[in-house]
Every structure is written in structure tokens, then in C-alpha cells.
């Protein structure tokens, strides 16, 4: 079927025009002939009403240290904003001269301004759900299994009969059912490791899901078993977790929309203005749509639909492609392996499984090809080096069969990469969306995977040297760290669990880290022409910091605060 291809104009994209239906742009609806939204970058410098000569700004911010993040790394003192866009940056004197009688003036009193932080990898919907529906079983309150059982027991005592109790834990061995059962004879219990790739359930939950010694592992998932072959209650990878999840109550779109309000606000408090949720399954997308339709969004979002099973492809191809300044359907996400115990690697590691991708490789490649042909982006979670190579193989084959210009597919994490992957990713134009802060959570990596492989973990310098584009994100809620402060500091410091630098030769400078967390993350979603730097015509999304992160010690970045977060020229968070 021939498909029309059209490029969203810049005006449509940023939605400044007072178009019908509140400026919303719907492109391609279910059931109609799909109108393919071109994934090519929006044209830079398209004239906008806000930028006509002599335009009077609505707001000016003066007396600051403004890191514009333009190509010349210009530091300015002031910013003028009109109609949600940056009108101009420059000296305080020059910007003050633009102001009219109605202009609001914000005196920065020497504070530092950066472009709004763009979090390239997170699970904001899941985070909202954890914050509202799950029991936290994490430090400092929960440090041992006994702490966990005590806290869980209190919750179970308050639960209605047969009501599911859901919790998340961190930095503990996954509890087995024989440990959870004594406090939960009738209550089904679901405990997710915060990283998201394995979970513990009790016998009541296994019973509801019908999982027994006879149940076979789903492809790409592992039902852990004891020596007699009975399930222990621990499930590795999403496909195994789905066997139980399919029987759990799901939040309604309205509940998801409500929980998103909570997680968005927490992000605004740390200076994030755009988030890319790279793990939205169908129910989550329904929640996002509800949130968006109700005009509930404060931050800007880019949403990737996650395919967990081959059967998800049909639905993926039917997704409604919303695109306005607050929400955009950006593309598709796969998980081809899990977190460390189930990293898919070329050589053995001492986790749970090292040689198992979560998709059959041929099926994965066919699905990648089908999604590549839609014109949208693909992002693949890759923990191990074999996962990275398989994904590059799939991208390369899809791009060869259909040489789309600049598809800009992505690898998420790229935690461990093989020596050949760096150059290949650069040549294929693949974006590396990563989180160097995780070197702190990985324990003794050389002890687990050997010195030689440890050198290739979160190798941000090697990726940059190979010409790959870097984007940074928090991956929240998969670790205790959700702020850009930690991501930026750890990109420079690379501290391990003992506060020792882990392969410091791979460290970024703070300038490189901030660029990756703004322009790099904008590029990762084809938004480098509208976001990521403070330049005329770009969205007036910016963060005001308590300190100059370029001049303080990297160790101190985590102690800085965000004094103000501005999106589209409006203050969405202000420190009280
Ligand atoms: Zn993630």
C-alpha cells in the first residue's frame, strides 16, 4: 500500500499557532490509511511569529550565567522569551533593552541557567505507578531480608483478602516464595527488583498464574526452580514475569494519568523539561493518551511503544501517532536481554544466564525490519555485548533493505559492548542512550566479567571517539538515582560502590556530559532543531541552578538544587 509521507512543519510541531483543536496535531489515526510522519528533523530557522524584528519579549531573565549550549558554547547573561520560544540571548543590557512595559523581568542574581534537561531514557509511567501503588522495600528503611519481610508483613496485614500486594526492592537477593509464604498465606505478592528485569512472587501468586513444576520457561524468560524442579517464585526477564503479570489487576488509564502527575512533578523539581519514556506497553500508552487529552501534561514527553512478544507487532503498527509540543509517539522499543544476571554476552558470566536473547534472533530481525519500514525510530535495550551486536546486525539489515535517510535508531544502555561495536554504531548513525551512573550499582565488575570486558562497560569516551551520538538519561525508576545531577556527576566521576573511579579514561568532561544530556538527548529524538540549546526560535525550556555546575567540583553537583524550571516560557517549578 502506498503511503503518503509528510513532514510536520515546525509550526505544527511546536504548536505555537493557535490552530483548531487547541493546536493539537493528529497524524495517522487507527483505521484510516496511515499518514506517515516523517522522522526527519524539523527544519531549523523557520520564521515564527515570535521572532519578527522588534518583537517585545513576554519575559526576560537577566544577570545570570547562561550556558546556551549553542555550537560555539556561548555563555550569555540573559535570555528573552516570547510566546514560549527563545527570542534572543545576550548581555543583560542588550536583553533589558528589548523589554516593554508588560515584560516580566526575572533577576537571576548570578545563578546559572542551562537548557532544560532532556532525560533520554526513563519509565515515567512505571515510576508513577511505583510511587502510588507499590510498597517501597528499599534502603534506608529496608536493608535486609528481615527488614523486607517486616515491612511487607505490615502491608499484607492491612490488605483486603486476596488483594494483590505489590512492592519493589533494591540491592537484595530476590526473596524466594518459601521466605514470603509464611507472612502471606492467602495474599498474592509481587515484588519487583527495582531494575525491573526480575521479580519474586509467593505461592499464592504462582497458584493464580498456574505456574507449576510442569510449566515450561517461555522463550527468553526463566522460571527459577529448586533442585526438585519446583518454581522458587523468582522470575527472570519480562516474558517470565508476564506469566504472573497477566493475572494482576492493571491500573486504569485514569489511574495512570493521575500517577503521571506525581512523577512529572518530581522530574520538574530536578530540572527535567522533556522525558523519553522508552517502555510504554499498551495500557501505559492508553494512560498517556488520557493524560494528554485531558491536557494534564506539565512536561514534554516522547513515548516509545514496547514490544514484548511477537504478537505485539500488529498493535504497534496501529498506534495512533500523536504529535504536539507536549507529547509525541516517537517509535518502538525492544528488550533483547535483561539486567546483569541475564545479560546476553558472547562469553560466559556468572549471572543467571549469559547466552539467551529475549527474542528469537530471526524473529527479532524481521520485527525490526517491519518497524524500520514505518519510518519511526527503534530503541533496543542492550545489557550485554552479544545483545549490542545482534541489535546492530538487525539495524544494518533493515537499513540495507530499505535505505531510509537518517533513521537514527538507538541502543539503550549499551552497558557492555564488543570492540567492534563502537565503530559500527558510529558508521550506522546509531544513538547510544546511556546511564554512566550505573557503574556504581554493578558491584565488582572485574570480578564478575574480568578486567578485559570491564574496560568496555559504559565506555562513553570510546563511543564518542567512534563518532556515535551520546544521549543521557536516568532510567528512573530502575535505581535510587533519578536526577540529572547524579547522571552528570557520575558521567564525570564514574564512581563505583567504594567511591573509586571506575575506568576514568572513559569519563566525560562536565561540558560533554551536559551537552549529551541536552543537545544529545534532543538529537536522540529528532528534536535538536527545537530543543537542547537556548537559541532564537527554540523552545524556551530551561533550568535555573543554585550553582555553576561548570566551575564547582563534580562531587558537589549532586548537592546543587534546581531553583526554577521553565517550560515554554512558563515557570512550572520554583523552589520555595
Ligand atoms: Zn530502562
Tell me the CA–centroid distance for residue 444 and ligand 1, in Å: 22
% of the chain surpassing 90 pLDDT: 87
Which pLDDT tens digit goes with each residue over 92-115? 999 999 999 999 999 999 999 999
Distance from the alpha carbon of residue 416 to the mean position of ligand 1, in angstroms: 15
Ligand 1 centroid from CA 483, angstroms: 15
Answer for the pair 492, 459: CB distance below 8 angstroms, yes or no. no
Q: Give residue 381 CA to ligand 1 midpoint distance, Å.
A: 7
For residue 426, report the distance from its CA to the centre of ligand 1, in Å: 22
pLDDT of the residue at 267: 98
Amino acid 51: pLDDT:
65
Give the confidence band of 319 by pLDDT, cuts at 50, 70, 90: confident
- Which CATH fold would you assign to the domain 54-116+534-576? Urease, subunit C; domain 1 (2.30.40)
Mean pLDDT of 109-125: 98
How far does Cα 410 stand from its chain's mean position? 12
Cβ–Cβ < 8 Å for 15, 21: no
Q: Regarding predicted confidence, which is higher, 354 or 320?
A: 354
Distance 80 CA to ligand 1 centre (A): 36
Mean pLDDT of 420-425: 96
Q: How far is the CA of 316 from the centre of ligand 1 (A)?
A: 19
Strand-pair partners of 171 = none
Tell me the chain's radius of gyration from C-alpha atoms: 24
CA of 70 from ligand 1 middle (Å) equals 29
Contact 121, 301 (CB under 8 A): no
Structure confidence at residue 297 as a pLDDT band (50, 70, 90): very high
Could you tell me the pLDDT band of residue 35, with boundaries at 50, 70 and 90?
A: very low
Residue 72 Cα to ligand 1 middle (Å): 32
- List pLDDT tens digits, range 126-164: 999 999 999 999 999 999 999 999 999 999 999 998 899
CA distance 202 to 231: 10
Write down the pLDDT at residue 180.
Answer: 98
Distance 447 CA to ligand 1 centre (A): 25
d(CA 297, CA 284): 15
pLDDT at position 50: 56
Q: Taking a C-beta distance cutoff of 8 angstroms, is the pair 107, 62 a contact?
A: yes
63-81 tens-digit pLDDT: 999 999 999 999 999 999 9
Cα–ligand 1 centroid distance for 237 (angstroms): 13
Q: How many whole angstroms separate alpha carbon 266 and alpha carbon 248? A: 27
Report CA(2)–ligand 1 centroid distance (Å): 35
pLDDT above 70 coverage of the chain, percent: 91
- Ligand 1 centre distance from Cα of residue 413 (Å): 8
Pair 142, 151: CB distance under 8 Å: yes
Cα 492 to averaged position of ligand 1 atoms, centre (Å): 21
CA of 134 to the centre of ligand 1 (A): 18
Spatial neighbors of 188 by CB under 8 A, at least 6 apart, are: 162, 164, 165, 201, 202, 204, 205, 208, 248
Q: State the distance from the centre of ligand 1 to the C-alpha of 64, rounded, in angstroms.
A: 35
The answer to whether the beta carbons of residues 22 and 12 sit under 8 Å apart is no
Peptide bond into 140 cis (omega under 30): yes
Ligand 1 centroid to Cα of residue 382, in Å, is: 10
Among residues 392, 379, 475, 385, the alpha carbon closest in space to that of 436 is found at 475
SS3 state at 132: helix
Q: Which three cell numbers stand for residue 15?
A: 504548536
Q: 81 with 567: CB under 8 angstroms?
A: no
How high is the pLDDT of residue 28? 29
Count CB atoms within 10 A of the CB of residue 460. 23
The confidence score (pLDDT) of residue 246 equals: 96
What separation in Å is there between the alpha carbon of 553 and the centre of ligand 1? 29
Is 90 exceeded by the pLDDT of residue 41? no
Cell numbers at residue 78, please?
540573559
Cα 121 to middle of ligand 1, angstroms: 6
Distance from residue 328's CA to the centre of ligand 1 (Å): 19
Mean pLDDT value of segment 31-44: 32
CA of 304 to the centre of ligand 1 (A): 11
CA of 61 to the centre of ligand 1 (A): 35
Match 570492540 to its residue by C-alpha cell. 419
Render pLDDT for 439-469 as a digit per residue (tens, 0 to 9). Answer: 999 989 999 999 999 999 999 999 999 999 9
Distance 122 CA to ligand 1 centre (A): 6
Q: 322 pLDDT band (50/70/90 cuts)?
A: confident
User: What is the CA(434)–ligand 1 centre distance, in A?
Assistant: 10
Q: Is residue 323 packed enough to be buried (19+ CB in 10 Å), middle (13-18) or exposed (0-12)? A: buried
- Beta carbons of 25 and 323 less than 8 angstroms apart: yes
Amino acid at each position: 500500500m502506498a503511503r503518503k509521507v509528510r513532514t510536520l512543519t515546525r509550526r505544527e510541531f511546536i504548536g505555537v499557532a493557535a490552530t483548531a483543536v487547541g493546536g493539537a496535531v493528529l497524524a495517522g489515526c487507527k483505521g484510516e490509511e496511515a499518514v506517515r510522519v516523517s522522522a526527519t528533523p524539523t527544519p531549523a530557522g523557520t520564521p515564527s511569529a515570535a521572532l519578527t524584528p522588534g518583537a517585545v519579549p513576554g519575559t526576560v531573565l537577566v544577570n545570570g550565567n547562561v550556558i546556551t549550549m549553542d555550537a560555539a558554547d556561548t555563555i550569555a547573561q540573559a535570555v528573552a522569551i516570547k510566546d514560549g520560544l527563545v527570542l534572543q540571548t545576550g548581555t543583560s543590557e542588550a536583553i533589558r533593552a528589548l523589554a516593554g512595559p508588560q515584560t516580566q523581568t526575572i533577576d537571576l542574581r548570578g545563578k546559572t541557567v542551562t537548557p532544560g534537561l532532556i532525560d533520554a531514557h526513563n519509565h515515567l509511567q512505571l515510576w508513577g505507578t511505583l510511587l502510588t501503588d507499590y510498597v517501597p522495600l528499599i534502603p534506608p528503611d529496608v536493608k535486609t531480608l528481615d527488614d523486607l519481610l517486616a515491612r511487607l508483613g505490615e502491608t499484607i496485614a492491612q490488605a483486603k483478602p486476596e488483594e494483590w500486594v505489590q512492592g519493589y526492592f533494591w540491592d537484595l537477593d530476590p526473596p524466594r516464595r518459601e521466605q514470603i509464604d509464611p507472612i502471606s498465606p492467602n495474599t498474592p505478592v509481587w515484588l519487583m527488583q527495582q531494575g525491573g528485569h526480575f521479580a519474586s512472587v509467593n505461592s499464592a501468586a504462582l497458584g493464580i498464574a498456574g505456574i507449576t513444576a510442569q510449566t515450561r520457561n517461555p522463550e527468553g524468560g526463566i522460571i527459577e526452580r529448586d533442585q526438585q524442579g519446583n518454581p522458587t517464585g523468582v522470575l527472570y526477564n519480562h516474558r517470565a514475569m508476564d506469566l504472573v503479570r497477566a493475572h494482576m489487576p492493571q491500573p486504569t488509564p485514569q489511574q495512570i494519568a493521575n500517577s503521571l502527575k506525581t512523577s512529572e512533578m518530581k522530574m520538574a523539581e530536578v530540572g527535567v523539561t522533556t522525558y523519553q519514556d522508552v517502555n510504554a506497553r499498551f495500557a501505559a500508552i492508553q494512560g498517556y493518551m488520557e493524560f494528554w487529552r485531558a491536557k494534564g501534561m506539565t512536561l514534554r514527553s516522547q513515548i516509545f511503544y514496547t514490544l514484548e512478544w511477537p504478537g505485539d507487532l500488529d498493535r504497534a503498527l496501529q498506534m495512533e501517532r500523536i504529535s504536539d509540543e507536549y507529547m509525541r509517539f516517537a517509535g518502538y522499543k525492544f528488550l533483547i536481554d535483561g539486567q546483569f544476571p541475564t545479560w546476553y554476552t558472547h562469553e560466559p558470566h556468572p549471572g543467571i544466564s549469559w547466552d539467551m536473547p529475549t527474542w528469537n534472533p530471526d524473529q527479532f530481525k524481521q520485527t525490526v525490519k517491519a518497524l524500520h519500514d514505518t519510518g519511526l525510530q527503534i530503541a533496543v535495550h542492550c545489557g550485554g555485548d552479544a545483545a549490542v551486536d545482534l541489535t546492530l546486525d538487525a539495524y544494518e539489515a533493515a537499513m540495507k533493505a530499505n535505505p531510509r535517510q537518517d533513521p537514527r535508531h538507538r541502543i539503550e544502555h549499551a552497558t557492555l559492548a564488543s570492540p567492534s561495536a563502537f565503530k559500527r554504531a558510529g558508521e550506522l548513525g546509531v544513538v547510544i542512550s546511556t546511564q554512566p551512573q550505573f557503574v556504581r550499582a554493578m558491584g565488582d565488575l572485574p570480578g564478575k566479567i574480568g578486567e578485559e570486558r570491564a574496560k568496555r562497560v559504559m565506555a562513553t569516551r570510546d563511543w564518542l571517539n567512534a563518532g556515535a551520538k551520546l544521549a543521557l538519561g536516568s532510567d528512573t525508576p530502575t535505581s535510587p538515582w533519578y536526577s540529572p545531577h547524579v547522571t552528570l556527576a557520575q558521567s564525570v566521576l564514574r564512581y563505583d560502590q567504594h567511591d573509586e573511579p571506575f575506568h576514568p579514561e572513559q569519563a566525560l568532561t562536565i561540558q560533554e556530559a551536559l551537552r549529551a544530556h541536552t543537545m544529545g538527548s534532543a538529537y536522540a529524538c529528532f528534536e535538536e532543531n527545537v530543543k537542547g540549546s537556548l537559541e532564537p526560535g527554540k523552545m524556551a525550556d530551561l533550568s535555573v541552578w543554585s550553582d555553576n555546575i561548570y566551575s564547582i567540583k563534580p562531587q558537589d553537583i549532586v548537592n546543587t538544587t534546581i531553583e526554577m524550571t521553565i517550560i515554554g516560557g512558563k515557570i512550572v517549578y520554583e523552589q520555595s
